[in-house]
Amino acid sequence: MGKDLAISMTATTSNEATASTVNLGPAAGLASKESGARIPLAPEFVSPDDFSPLEVVYDFGNVRREDIEAGPRSIWRYKQLLPVPPNVADYPNTEPGCTRLIKADRLAAELGVRKLWIKDDTGNPTHSFKDRVVAVALAAAREFGFKVLACPSTGNLANATAAAAARAGWESVVLIPSSLERAKVLTTAVYDGALIAVDGNYDDVNRLATELAAEHEDWAFVNVNVRPYYSEGSKTLGFEVAEQLGWRLPEQIVVPIASGSQLTKVDKGFQEFGQLGLVEPTPYRVFGAQATGCSPVSAAFRSGHDVVQPVKPDTIARSLAIGAPADGPYVLDTVRRTGGAIEDVTDAEVVEGIRLLARTEGVFAETAGGVTMACAKKLLETGKLDPDAETVLLITGDGLKTLDAVADQVGPRATVPPSAAAVHEALERGRG
Amino acid sequence: MGKDLAISMTATTSNEATASTVNLGPAAGLASKESGARIPLAPEFVSPDDFSPLEVVYDFGNVRREDIEAGPRSIWRYKQLLPVPPNVADYPNTEPGCTRLIKADRLAAELGVRKLWIKDDTGNPTHSFKDRVVAVALAAAREFGFKVLACPSTGNLANATAAAAARAGWESVVLIPSSLERAKVLTTAVYDGALIAVDGNYDDVNRLATELAAEHEDWAFVNVNVRPYYSEGSKTLGFEVAEQLGWRLPEQIVVPIASGSQLTKVDKGFQEFGQLGLVEPTPYRVFGAQATGCSPVSAAFRSGHDVVQPVKPDTIARSLAIGAPADGPYVLDTVRRTGGAIEDVTDAEVVEGIRLLARTEGVFAETAGGVTMACAKKLLETGKLDPDAETVLLITGDGLKTLDAVADQVGPRATVPPSAAAVHEALERGRG
């Protein structure tokens, strides 16, 4: 990891946009996540002070509910809380966000939970939460003078990056593991950017991206050299949940863990809303969900470790299959600080989770959603999730992208000739 | 057709809910689309007066922009204009609608159009406009005392019906042609209702559904016995376009034609907004789009006929493959009255349309969207669409559901080992 970080620090833009020329709204600078040492806004992701990750720091000023409510029906309603220019909505972008938060009474009844909500992010333009983070990354990259949008991806990010670049009229370079699901490959390729399949797993592809980011001054790798901006996009999931609950925080939230960034940013979103007086800063607990076949953060949590030991992923939940999760330690911090827990589930449980959510609430999640669903169930069964506390499950990607996970489990009850009698017979058989 | 209609007229609900007990908000009754003869609200779709289709008639009262704007971010913001009870949003439903309307400047530039918008209905819960009509059908069916939600479908409706039933806790019976795309089959089956594949085309399945609707008193076939309510859901596409344009009507709109219902209801939505003073009743032209392999309405338009001659469909645009479109004659009326036109395009043009839209605007449409896109292009080339008039294209379904259409046309540029040099070489080859 040290080598990759050292290389990446040499990356600057060809345009040499600096803190004095860029306008990223409330964003005031970048700070080391460890020491807090600040540098000006720049396309950097590693602190020169201590080589730890950089995070955006803000001067928020006064942010009012009315201003947010009067904003567009997209993540740009929260632009006063994001590292984006005030005119961000004027540039062509995919306009993600404002996805539905549905009250899941049938699922709640089945699980024995008092009050349960599903935040269904499959309604985004390319049907995952990645549209949020990419939109913020693109806005920041534009300010820094980049010309190419790039990423290494397990799939959803590839879709989002290629679509956002197409809409903005940017070139894109997208790197994916060659083993990726067909749906995610085609749904990236159709946008006609440069899609390159790499023989290796996601961690291999990620290392390659870090190397390329250092070599190409005008490529904004959304989750590498502009990662501090990109990752702030996940705060909008927390913002929306709170606004949709009527400007208040839930008591428990279950979030899937890939790099771990999303979980920490949902927490950050809740905190910022509380600090700004947009909601009462009521206590909440953050829970993490992993697939057992790639559960380094869950394993560290269980063992009481602060360090996450990388693993070689082997799970159908490929969008969570990051064996060396960059934000793993921060996930552990967040979960422990809030009194949550981290769980992991087998691939069979993932498929059961997908089917349970579909059957009870009509929401068809991808494998990552099956992980969240199944982990929530397990956390309830083991008494870690409180069934009496209001709970939100984050469903961050779409079942249409991972059809193979359910393909041998579901299908028509029967194939019949076009006659009413044949239909009746098939229905009777189904009941029998 | 006459036989089917006669049978269907015997269908009533077991609960015998009547006009005096049902509350469908502003809906005041049903009227023959031909004679205007009225009957009370009931689960009927054929006029006893003249055997023509029934349509909902309303007593709207005063409807104000402020009330709509203060409503939920779903089609229920328009509940004062739909045949649904005032408390419709209190029942579990998929909460469809409020999908994005994006300004398509890059596509406009490529087509030589002054002002172009894409209404992207792929953001709906099951990623097509069918969530809108099913939600309205379910609300009406509940009032009439039905217990089972059913449909014959070319796919998108199957997805929407099965999901809506799951979320509401209703049983579902969904009939599909056995040749349906894998994605649409799995995305229906996962909701765990009774999915029956029928050996036949959509028109065979539709006839079968009409027969079953007559036999099963407690089955609400969304697009058969509760069709008058169901079809009103498509008005919300028109409502949203007008609201999202800032409470005004576009000058031109291009709508795909399957049964033809959607096109006529978008027109009805525009008209109602004008009549109620919600928008200036400015003139607009409605254009229809079909695939050449199933173009009975386009053929009738071209020939100047009032009657639509049924065809046997043969096109990759299966969600539009209705050979005997129920609302064909009304589509002809609407298009001729507004000064529009109807066009059809080959399957190759459909795929080109999908790719054009994806490449320029980052929107991945299913084959039906490719039909709309390609027909718009052809209508511009033949001078039927005015390039100087503000135009909206309706994209009503998702590319993830019809991947096979593009599978042999798009893909990674290269598959390479995990080295920067290999990526560079692949990108150079791509440029060469």
Confidence of residue A11 (pLDDT cuts 50, 70, 90): very low
User: What are the chain A neighbours of B398 within 8 Å (beta carbons)?
Assistant: 127, 400
For chains A and B, CB pairs below 8 A equal 251
| B178 in contact with A, Cβ within 8 Å | yes
Which of B198, B107, B112 shows the shortest CA–CA distance to B151?
B198
Q: Which domains does chain A have, with CATH numbers?
A: 2-63+129-228 (3.40.50.1100), 101-127+231-407 (3.40.50.1100)
Please name the member of B98, B105, B185 whose beta carbon is closest to the beta carbon of A73.
B98
Q: Provide the chain B residues 330-389 that lie in CB contact (below 8 A) with chain A.
A: 354-355, 358-364
| B246 in contact with A, Cβ within 8 Å | no
Per-residue pLDDT tens over the stretch A183-240: 899 999 999 999 999 999 888 999 999 999 999 989 999 999 999 999 999 999 999 9
Strand locations in B83-170, DSSP E?
101-103, 116-120, 148-152
Q: Provide the chain B residues 252-311 that lie in CB contact (below 8 A) with chain A.
A: none
Per-residue pLDDT tens over the stretch B254-311: 999 999 999 999 999 999 999 999 999 999 999 999 999 999 999 999 999 999 999 9
CA-nearest residue to A198 within chain B is B416
Q: What is the pLDDT of residue B7?
A: 29
Q: HSE, CB side, 13 Å, CA atoms: give it for residue B350.
A: 30
User: What are the chain B neighbours of A426 within 8 Å (beta carbons)?
Assistant: 196
What strand order describes the sheet that includes A38-39? A38-39, A27-32, A54-58
Mean pLDDT of chain B: 94
Query: Is pLDDT at B190 greater than 90 in this prediction?
Result: yes
Please name the member of A167, A211, A418 whose beta carbon is closest to the beta carbon of B198.
A418
Query: Is pLDDT at A17 greater than 70 in this prediction?
Result: no
Query: Is pLDDT at A18 greater than 80 in this prediction?
Result: no
Q: How crowded is residue A115: how many other Cβ atoms within 10 Å of its Cβ?
A: 17
Interchain contact, B195 vs A412, CB within 8 Å: yes
Q: What are phi and psi of B96, to 5 degrees?
A: -80, 175
As to burial, measured by CB atoms within 10 angstroms (0-12 exposed, 13-18 middle, 19+ buried), residue B388 is exposed
What is the interface pTM, i.e. ipTM, of the complex? 0.94
Best probe of the B interface among A167, A357, A427, by most B CBs < 10 A, is A167
Query: Is pLDDT at B432 greater than 60 in this prediction?
Result: no
Q: What is the mean pLDDT of residues B36-62?
A: 96
Q: What is the mean pLDDT of residues B54-83?
A: 97
Please name the member of A94, A212, A361 whose beta carbon is closest to the beta carbon of B423.
A212
CA distance A102 to chain B (A): 8
What strand order describes the sheet that includes A285-291? A101-103, A116-120, A391-395, A252-256, A285-291, A342-345
Interchain contact, A354 vs B126, CB within 8 Å: no
Largest Cα separation within chain B, whole Å, is 76
Query: Is pLDDT at A90 greater than 50 in this prediction?
Result: yes
Confidence of residue A255 (pLDDT cuts 50, 70, 90): very high
Query: Is pLDDT at B430 greater than 80 in this prediction?
Result: no
Q: What is the mean pLDDT of residues A119-125?
A: 98
Please name the member of A120, A164, A403 whose beta carbon is closest to the beta carbon of B362.
A164
Q: What is the pLDDT of residue B180?
A: 87
Interchain contact, B208 vs A420, CB within 8 Å: yes
Q: What is the pLDDT of residue A237?
A: 98
CA distance B61 to chain A (A): 28
CA-nearest residue to B422 within chain A is A198
Q: What is the mean pLDDT of residues B141-160?
A: 96
Mean pLDDT of chain A: 94
Interchain contact, A355 vs B190, CB within 8 Å: yes
Q: What is the pLDDT of residue B154?
A: 85
CA-nearest residue to B105 within chain A is A92
Interchain contact, A411 vs B98, CB within 8 Å: no
Q: How crowded is residue A272: how many other Cβ atoms within 10 Å of its Cβ?
A: 20
CA B272/CA B22 separation, integer angstroms: 23
Q: What is the mean pLDDT of residues A115-125?
A: 98
Q: What is the pLDDT of residue B17?
A: 52
CA distance A20 to chain B (A): 31
Query: Is pLDDT at B349 greater than 50 in this prediction?
Result: yes
Q: What is the pLDDT of residue B182?
A: 87
CA B32/CA B52 separation, integer angstroms: 6
| B116 in contact with A, Cβ within 8 Å | no
Which of A48, A24, A397, A77 shows the shortest CA–CA distance to A229?
A24
Contacts made by residues A425-429, CB under 8 angstroms, sequence distance 24+: A426/B196, A427/B173, A427/B194, A427/B196
Per-residue pLDDT tens over the stretch B205-245: 999 999 999 999 899 999 999 999 999 999 999 999 999 99
User: What are the chain B neighbours of A100 within 8 Å (beta carbons)?
Assistant: 73-74, 95, 125
Higher pLDDT, A180 or A100: A100
Calculate what percentage of chain B has a pLDDT beyond 70. Answer: 95
Q: What is the pLDDT of residue B18?
A: 54
Q: What is the mean pLDDT of residues A305-330?
A: 95
CA distance B355 to chain A (A): 6
Q: What are phi and psi of A259, to 5 degrees?
A: -75, -20
Evaluate whether B411 touches B136 at the Cβ level (below 8 Å): no
Q: What is the pLDDT of residue A154?
A: 85
Best probe of the A interface among B75, B167, B201, by most A CBs < 10 A, is B167
CA distances from B396 to A22, B134, B160 (A): 39, 14, 13
Interchain contact, A95 vs B95, CB within 8 Å: no
Strand locations in B282-387, DSSP E?
285-291, 342-345
CA distance A5 to chain B (A): 16
Confidence of residue B203 (pLDDT cuts 50, 70, 90): confident
Please name the member of A185, A191, A423 whose beta carbon is closest to the beta carbon of B358.
A191
> Residue B70: what residue type?
A
Per-residue pLDDT tens over the stretch B3-30: 333 323 333 444 445 556 899 999 999 9
Per-residue pLDDT tens over the stretch B110-127: 999 999 999 999 999 999
Q: What is the mean pLDDT of residues A120-142?
A: 98
Please name the member of A125, A211, A407 whose beta carbon is closest to the beta carbon of B420.
A211
> Residue A42: what residue type?
A
Q: What is the pLDDT of residue A67?
A: 96
| B109 in contact with A, Cβ within 8 Å | no
Q: Give the list of residues 6+ apart from residue B228 with CB closer than 8 angstroms, or none.
A: B30, B44, B45, B53, B54, B55, B56, B83
Evaluate whether B185 touches B196 at the Cβ level (below 8 Å): no
CA-nearest residue to B125 within chain A is A123
As to burial, measured by CB atoms within 10 angstroms (0-12 exposed, 13-18 middle, 19+ buried), residue A186 is buried
CA distances from A238 to A248, A426, B99 (A): 11, 46, 21
Best probe of the A interface among B95, B182, B186, by most A CBs < 10 A, is B186
